Amino acid sequence: RLNLDEGWVGLGGIKDYEKQLTKAKRIIMVACGTSWHAALVGEYLFEDLTRIPVEVEYASEFRYRNPIINEDDIVIAISQSGETADTLAALDLAKSKGATILGICNVVGSSISRVTDAGSYTHAGPEIGVASTKAFTAQVTVLTLMALTIARKKGTIIESEFRKIITELDLIPNKVAKILEKADQLEEIAAAYKDASNALYLGRGNSFPVALEGALKLKEISYIHAEGYPAAEMKHGPIALIDEEMPVFVIATQGPSYEKVVSNIQEVKARKGKIIAVITEGDEQVKEMADHCIEIPDTDENLTPLLTTIPLQLISYYVAVMRGANVDQPRNLAKSVTV
């Protein structure tokens, strides 16, 4: 249970940076892989709730260019292992320019957590497999708590809205459990597409990073080529790839972009693509159009990535198992990328 009246609950040493965070003119998030996707969700949350401009950077790119970093910038590193060399190098660079550096890491005492000025541990427990899964939801949870707390302190969120989201956040574990009960259905979907050579993942708004994460999980553990795109970008290129062989995973939950996503589904169907849609429970409209629908419990718009990611991760898991891949130790990947 969260008692956010105390402020900064669950955010570790980050609470000591309240002044800098509430006054920040810009926040830069640096990360790699799945953690970079969590940062993208963070960008939506922070900009929407706190109105602080956020830039999300691949640490592996940021470290090698000559980025503009100011002394009043706050750089947040996100890393499951806390050992990723690119993220560490990006932090060193930011620190050398005088920025405040904060961390969101899972592994206590890890290198990144030691170099940051302050941080919050996600305490998601050990990731047994190489590919990040629960770390993602834990990172997004910390970013949600941060965004909500900063917004409340800055007054960019009204109290009733703050309470509504916090109440919903408390319900997320039960809703995740309900999604896990759908394991059989997810296994059936995996069986239907296990021999695909390619897959597309589409989402809008804060579902776009979820699309990226769905595609990354499929690539990492089942070795199927997959791409994540903002659904509105489909017409700028990827639409050329769609035919009856192409599974298209679409995050089509209720929210401001729902109708637009429905149009994207129609565009895919017109080209005979197969639609696997993640929808809000009870959505009959998409059910009539899609080849498969995964229903998830309704929640606050800001929190949907915490739910929609889970079925995509599980489908990748089942596909990998069916293809005989080693889910915990995918080829060519390391738990901590230290070079």
Catalytic annotation, residues: 335
Contact region with ligand F1P (CB under 6 A), list: 64-72, 76-84, 194-202, 300-308? 76-84
Contact letters for ligand F1P, residues 16-45 (x by CB under 6 A): ----------------xxxx----------
Q: How many residues bind ligand F1P, per CB under 6 A? A: 16
The nearest distance, CB 296 to ligand F1P, in angstroms, is 23
Residue 81 in the binding site for ligand F1P (CB under 6 A)? yes
The nearest distance, CB 309 to ligand F1P, in angstroms, is 13
Q: Contacting ligand F1P (CB under 6 A), which of 75, 76, 131, 157? A: 131
For 177: left if phi > 0, alpha if psi spans -120 to 50, otherwise beta; the answer is: alpha
Tokens of 147: 């965004």
The nearest distance, CB 191 to ligand F1P, in angstroms, is 25
Q: What is the DSSP string of 218-250?
A: HHHHH--EEEEEEGGGGGGTGGGG-STT-EEEE
Judged by beta carbon, residue 32 or residue 275, the one nearer ligand F1P is 32
**How many other C-beta atoms can be found within 10 angstroms of the C-beta atom of residue 50?**
24
Q: Answer yes or no: are the C-beta atoms of 34 and 136 closer than 8 Å.
A: yes
Tokens of 58: 């691949």
What angle do the packed helices 33-50 and 208-222 form, to 10 degrees?
A: 170
Residue 226 in the binding site for ligand F1P (CB under 6 A)? no
The nearest distance, CB 163 to ligand F1P, in angstroms, is 32
Query: Tokens 């996707």 label which residue?
Result: 37
**How far, CA to CA in Å, does 285 sit from each of 77, 166, 261?**
40, 30, 12
The nearest distance, CB 272 to ligand F1P, in angstroms, is 33
Q: Is the dihedral of CA 323, 324, 326, 330 positive or negative?
A: negative
Q: Contacting ligand F1P (CB under 6 A), which of 154, 194, 323, 335? A: 335
Contact region with ligand F1P (CB under 6 A), list: 79-87, 146-154, 223-231, 252-260? 79-87
The nearest distance, CB 176 to ligand F1P, in angstroms, is 20
How does 250-262 read in b/e, with b if 16+ C-beta sit within 10 Å?
Answer: bbbbbbebbeebb
Residue 128 in the binding site for ligand F1P (CB under 6 A)? no
Tokens of 194: 């296990």
Alpha-helical segments (H) within 3-102: 18-23, 33-50, 59-62, 85-96
**How far, CA to CA in Å, does 227 sit from each of 135, 234, 323, 331?**
21, 11, 19, 19
Q: Contacting ligand F1P (CB under 6 A), which of 50, 60, 79, 264? A: 79
Residue 333 in the binding site for ligand F1P (CB under 6 A)? yes
Residue 132 in the binding site for ligand F1P (CB under 6 A)? yes
Judged by beta carbon, residue 130 or residue 252, the one nearer ligand F1P is 130
Given the rule CB under 6 A, which residues bind ligand F1P?
Answer: 32-35, 79-81, 84, 87, 130-132, 333, 335-337
